[in-house]
Chains A and B, each alone.
Chain A
Amino acid sequence: KAGVTQTPRYLIKTRGQQVTLSCSPISGHRSVSWYQQTPGQGLQFLFEYFSETQRNKGNFPGRFSGRQFSNSRSEMNVSTLELGDSALYLCASRRDDNEQFFGPGTRLTVL
């Protein structure tokens, strides 16, 4: 069974731009969560989607948004990028329990 995939793996943007990251969950997993990882703040939860609906949200500004499609694939978008948005963005999918399967992440660098 294929794991969680994320695209692109690496991305360089400049301040003020926007970015869209993509996540394909494991087949049959309907829940997708997004996390941000930085050296200073560690791993922080962004939001979770289930059946195309956001049902849990972390403490991030409105510049961070996401969506989920009917095939459970998910995208997250960051608008008006800031230098502090440079991070590893991780996506995780799960079935109905707490065992989350993480993708390899997208490394975003904002210049």
Chain B
Amino acid sequence: DAKTTQPPSMDCAEGRAANLPCNHSTISGNEYVYWYRQIHSQGPQYIIHGLKNNETNEMASLIITEDRKSSTLILPHATLRDTAVYYCIVRVADYGGSQGNLIFGKGTKLSVKP
């Protein structure tokens, strides 16, 4: 079962920041927080991941609380093309290992509106 809880849906105005929350209260010390998104009828796309420090890349920022029990994915200037289902996943790092499976929950359906 997924170890995360996300709101089923959210709306965001185009050009505004989209803040997607995720609760992972049972996260272990060696588990990372990963975010993927799936645009309708396409395969999921990796966005970002982090352990305990905040992370930023060209797509988004990830803010993880100090107790690591929750996190927020931030899309700084949402566009219509960011409309998608966003999945928050927690798992151990598996560099070269055999745990290739991602456990997806139901995610958050983000609708960016003009």
Contacts and interface: CB of A to CB of B under 8 A. Distances in A.
Interface of A: 4, 31, 33, 35, 42-45, 48, 50, 55-56, 58, 88, 90, 92, 94, 96-105
Contacts of A48: 98, 100-101
Contacts of B103: 45
B52 interface: no
Contacts of A44: 104
A67 to B, nearest CB: 16
B21 interface: no
Contacts of A103: 43
Nearest to A107: B41
B98 A99 contact: no
Most buried by B among A44, A97, A98, A103: A98
Nearest to B34: A98
SS class, residues of chain A in contact with chain B: strand
Place the interface of chain B in its size category. Answer: 20 to 34
Nearest to A105: B43
A102 B45 contact: yes
A4 B100 contact: no
Contact of B44 (A94, A97, A102): A102
B44 A98 contact: no
A90 B32 CA distance: 23
Nearest to A91: B43
A31 B100 contact: yes
